[in-house]
Structure 1
Amino acid sequence: MDAVFAGMRTRRKAGAPPRALPARRVLAIDAMRGLTILVMIFVNALAGVRGMPAWLEHAPAELDGMTFPDVVFPAFLFIVGMSIPFAVAQRQAAGDGAWRLQGHMLARAAGLLALGVFMVNAEAGYNEAAMGFSIHLWSLLFYTAAILLWNVYRFDNPLWGKALRLAGLALLLWLALAYRAGPDGKERLAPQWWGILGLIGWAYLYASLCHTLARGRLLPLLGALAACVALYCLTRGHAEATAPLARLLAGQAENAIHTAIALAGVCTSLLFFERLDGNAGARRYALAAALALGLAGAAWLLRPYFGISKIHATPSWALYSAAICILLFGLLYWLIDLRQLSGWTGFLRPAAANPLLAYIIPYIVYALLQTLHIGLPSVLDAGLPGLLWSLAYAVAVLYVVRGLNRLQIRLQL
């Protein structure tokens, strides 16, 4: 989740490998990732604050509409998708072959799914009496294990890093075995749902597979995006189907919608950064605008049938969100990379380079405060004080990430 970077010939030989993207870092992608992490922490903190205007709260599941927070998760999926072609190009430049690329992709997706399952099981259903210790202590040990397992080590002797990873893996396995759930404490650790990280993991896995099968070509990837939306439309309401294949496809409908957002990000990277003949800059923006308009048009057409809902992961929510993300990235790219107004992005870089670490820090803080029985003043639970506190907290987390980086704590799946 966090290791993720002009005329292209319009005709390419059949079966030829995808043309690598430029070997340079695109600051606008980093800035958009950092902004998304900052806003994600802010809206998560704000979720417990009373008296906020409706546009700062997630829209109810049955409301045909979306709010500002409802675009945050899609923005992260979109950035995950944008990063896929650059990550592939970077690994190919380092000499990775097809099998190593696929192995890395599967390992990263599996890591996200595992993290999601652990985090979800810490939210509800647990039985602390059967476990013998509090869920908050269990969570702290889990995050310790995750950091040990996925930290980027810089030891002169690589055996130290391997030993710490093995310790993290052993602790993770012990915590999985120690977990108990249900009224009688006989249930074990299992997916209740996949959690945000798990949903990102599924979308990353499917979008990466589509990018591989399409060999990095734009038109097949657009076709895959359309197929994801079609899968949702055709299987909606068939989760209880008797045919195994129909039930399987229906069970993946929401993952397909999340994948469509990630694929929109993949397509946006190709539109902006694969070489284009002629007036590359103007053509990039024209094609990106056409893609955004097409997604928004499809969202408008599908809305009467499925509505707009983040909770239900409807196509219109996903397509409108993806269109917004394309326009936002276009603005950031023009401002940061083309106009060279990038000084303000330095504050976002630690979170942009370490999104997983930035994401889990609020959960670590919460578990620690609960373990120590420390609460926040009630004045921060409502109104303007709560709003300002949520914003300050999000900014503070980014500074914590910077400090942890200086202590050589950097997570990478």
Structure 2
Amino acid sequence: MINKLSTGRILSIDAFRGITILVMIFVNSVAGVHGIPSWMQHAHADEDRMTFVDVVFPAFLFIVGMSIPFAINSRLNKGDSFWQLQKHILWRTLGLLVLGVFMVNTDELNPAATGMSMGVWALLFYGSVILVWNVYKFEQPWISWCLKGIGAVILIVLAVIYRGGEDGAHYLTPQWWGILGLIGWAYLYACIIYQLFKGNHNAIFFMIAVCIGYYILCRQPFIQNSEWSLLASQGGNAAHTAIVLCGMLLTLFYFDEDLGLTGSRLVSRVAGFCTVLLIAGAWLRPAYKLSKIQATPSWCLYCAAICVAVFSLLYFLIDVKHFNRWTSFFKPAGSNPLLTYILPDIVYFGMMALGLSLPAVLQEGVPGIIWCMCFAVAMLFVVKGLNKLHIRLQL
């Protein structure tokens, strides 16, 4: 064990994850609605501002950081060796990178050059994802491995036949890693840092500053225009890693029994951490502005501070005051986040393959916003049903 953490499921973390997924489905859906206010859209790259939409992705990163200490210590407690743990971390990272690359390339698919419509190709991709990463309950392990093997073969075939771009000359490439891929890189770096410093909270706080400093260094002209430009390309990943480490540090504040933070000591430590994040973000904003697209330090620090505040409120309500019956609505999505994440895309591409589309009235203004709200809630109910059918994805 690296840290002596509280045992059992932490309802507030599950609720935070479920709420984030619900909001994610809504903002992804509403992005296709015309005539929505600017505060419901991502800020542009050249703007010095952010909206609540720009906090959804960092909230995912933050929750990944909160989960890492529990996940690593759980595997060590079950008897994993050092190398078994590293294999697990690398496999999860690879899975996130592969999924990210496939999802990014889907919208660029050229049906004529690929020999398959975008809707069919995407449905085969998501179907193979379910085959490969589903948690099977068969008594005979060979059935599970056969299904995983079929899914892997389909993924390889889809990658080989893929052609993208208007001229159909582009192959499946990581033009960028996609949301899942970016989470994968940040997850990998955070796991390395957590193990390297043996879960020491002071060292993790220091590494948050190092990650922010690395981003700032990478933005300097003498780095971007030198032979070190490849290292400079990792500046965004460093910024994302800083958010993951903020989540990790909050987990240690709340749940590391060796730290023993309770009562006023816990409140002052968490409040102090949140204040430091806000002050640092405000201090760096004039130089690097507030931008999700550019993953600027101020955006990272402000979003991390928001996540600290939101989780602290949830923890107080759910784990301290035991006002938690309402969390059961979010539990299915919180326990099956990957399936919940890809489910809206499956619906979207399923409609595309069938030649269906939403009525125009649901693609504009207030009716469109209301529809996206209903759709997000419906997806959580669908995931609940899929959970009962033992369809649960795990990287």
- TM-score past 0.5 threshold: yes
The corresponding residue for 1:107 is 91
Distance 1:312 1:166, change over 3 A: same
The corresponding residue for 1:73 is 57
Whether the 8 Å contact between 1:231 and 1:249 is mirrored in structure 2 is no
State the alpha-carbon separation in 1 of the partners of residues 294 and 369 from structure 2.
27
Q: Does 1:340 align with 2:316?
A: no
State the alpha-carbon separation in 1 of the partners of residues 345 and 259 from structure 2.
48
Whether the 8 Å contact between 1:78 and 1:261 is mirrored in structure 2 is yes
Instruction: Calculate the aligned-residue CA RMSD, in Å.
Output: 1.3
Distance 1:268 1:382, change over 3 A: same
Q: Give the drift of 1:181.
A: 2.2
The corresponding residue for 2:392 is 410
Q: Does 1:123 align with 2:90?
A: no
Q: Does 1:209 align with 2:201?
A: no
Q: Which amino acid aligns with 1:39?
A: V
Q: Give the drift of 1:392.
A: 0.4
TM-score normalized by the length of structure 2: 0.97
Q: Which amino acid aligns with 1:323?
A: A
The corresponding residue for 1:88 is 72
3-state DSSP of counterpart to 1:86 = helix
3-state DSSP of counterpart to 2:330 = helix
Distance 1:410 1:54, change over 3 A: same
Whether the 8 Å contact between 2:280 and 2:301 is mirrored in structure 1 is yes
Whether the 8 Å contact between 1:23 and 1:90 is mirrored in structure 2 is no
State the alpha-carbon separation in 1 of the partners of residues 295 and 224 from structure 2.
18
State the alpha-carbon separation in 2 of the partners of residues 122 and 306 from structure 1.
32
Q: Does 1:252 align with 2:234?
A: yes
Q: Give the drift of 1:281.
A: 2.9
Map Cα deviations across residues 122-176 of structure 1 (whole Å, 9 max, x no partner).
012x221111111211100000110000000000111100110011111111111
Whether the 8 Å contact between 2:4 and 2:258 is mirrored in structure 1 is no
3-state DSSP of counterpart to 1:185 = coil
Identical-pair percentage: 52
Map Cα deviations across residues 245-276 of structure 1 (whole Å, 9 max, x no partner).
x2122100011111100000000000111125
Q: Give the drift of 1:31.
A: 0.2
Q: Which amino acid aligns with 1:391?
A: M
State the alpha-carbon separation in 2 of the partners of residues 40 and 183 from structure 1.
30
State the alpha-carbon separation in 2 of the partners of residues 314 and 378 from structure 1.
37
State the alpha-carbon separation in 2 of the partners of residues 121 and 179 from structure 1.
9
3-state DSSP of counterpart to 1:191 = coil
Q: Which amino acid aligns with 1:207?
A: A
3-state DSSP of counterpart to 1:375 = coil
Whether the 8 Å contact between 1:127 and 1:183 is mirrored in structure 2 is yes
Q: Does 1:57 align with 2:41?
A: yes
Distance 1:48 1:273, change over 3 A: same
Q: Does 1:369 align with 2:373?
A: no
State the alpha-carbon separation in 2 of the partners of residues 300 and 194 from structure 1.
29
Q: Give the drift of 1:278.
A: 6.8
State the alpha-carbon separation in 2 of the partners of residues 326 and 215 from structure 1.
22
Whether the 8 Å contact between 2:104 and 2:176 is mirrored in structure 1 is yes
Matches within 5 A, 1:158-173: 158-173=141-156
Whether the 8 Å contact between 2:45 and 2:294 is mirrored in structure 1 is yes
State the alpha-carbon separation in 2 of the partners of residues 290 and 24 from structure 1.
27
TM-score normalized by the length of structure 1: 0.93
Q: Does 1:133 align with 2:80?
A: no
3-state DSSP of counterpart to 1:398 = helix
The corresponding residue for 1:400 is 382
The corresponding residue for 2:161 is 178
Whether the 8 Å contact between 1:272 and 1:285 is mirrored in structure 2 is no
State the alpha-carbon separation in 1 of the partners of residues 134 and 224 from structure 2.
42
Q: Which amino acid aligns with 1:252?
A: Q
Q: Which moved more, 1:34-43 or 1:381-390?
A: 381-390
Whether the 8 Å contact between 2:120 and 2:349 is mirrored in structure 1 is yes
Q: Which moved more, 1:234-243 or 1:360-369?
A: 234-243
